[in-house]
Every structure is written in structure tokens, then in C-alpha cells.
Amino acid sequence: MGYPASAMGPQLRAYVEHQLLTDLQFYGVPTVGLSFDWSNPCQEGHVTRYLDGMLEEMSDVGVNRSDGTPVAEGWLDFIHWWRRRPTLCFWLFLRLDTAGKSGLRPGFVMSSIFRWHGRRI
């Protein structure tokens, strides 16, 4: 696991992965059997301490099928309000697999932020 992903403890990593998989479902991606590729993320500067580790905004975060083929690759971002509200993780920039036909296609994803805004926390 590459840095800065290695600064996340197991509890934080599970929390982040769950939120990112939930966000992938919003884009119509089936998430059963997927795994994260944290081998070569790039730190992007926005950082916070949460649960059992450090969470940093990262690019080059991958999600693969069980056979290792890529499903998605993108930029992890988060909002941390500090007080009683949880940290929210989402895809900021995201490339998705187009049904396994032509590999990953580029996309710009911002709409997940607006979904969080309306969510009761």
C-alpha cells in the first residue's frame, strides 16, 4: 500500500472504501466483489485526522474486479466538519469502465457533493 493510503488505519480505510463504493453505486456501478488498489496513490494536499489514521485527498485510487480488471479510477476527496458530523468521502474526478468494452472512460464527477449537501447528518 502506497503513501498516503498507508497512513490510514484499518478502521479508516474500511470507512473510506464503504463510502466510495456507495458513491460508485450512485453512478450505476455494481460493487459486489470489488477491491481497491491503494498501491500508487498521489497525495493532493487536503488532509485530516479521523478515526484511526490520517486521511488525505488522493488521486490514482483504483477499484478492480476480482479478476484484477479495472472498474474505476479516480480522485478521492472528503469533507470533514469536525464536530458531531461524520467525514464524508466521495469521488471528485472519476473514470469508469464502460461495460468492459473500451476500458476506462474519462469523466468529471462533481454531483456527489450535491447529494451529500441534501443528506441529513
pTM for this model (two decimals): 0.80
- The whole-angstrom distance between residue 34's C-alpha and the CA centroid of its chain comes to 12
Q: What is the pLDDT of residues 9-68, one digit of tens each?
A: 999 999 999 999 998 888 888 899 999 999 999 888 889 888 999 999 999 999 999 999
Dihedral, CA of residue 74, residue 76, residue 77 and residue 81, to nearest 10: 150
Please, which residues bridge with residue 39 across strands? Answer: none
Q: What is the mean pLDDT of the chain?
A: 81
Q: Is a pLDDT exceeding 50 seen at residue 113?
A: no
Comparing 57 with 114, the larger pLDDT belongs to: 57
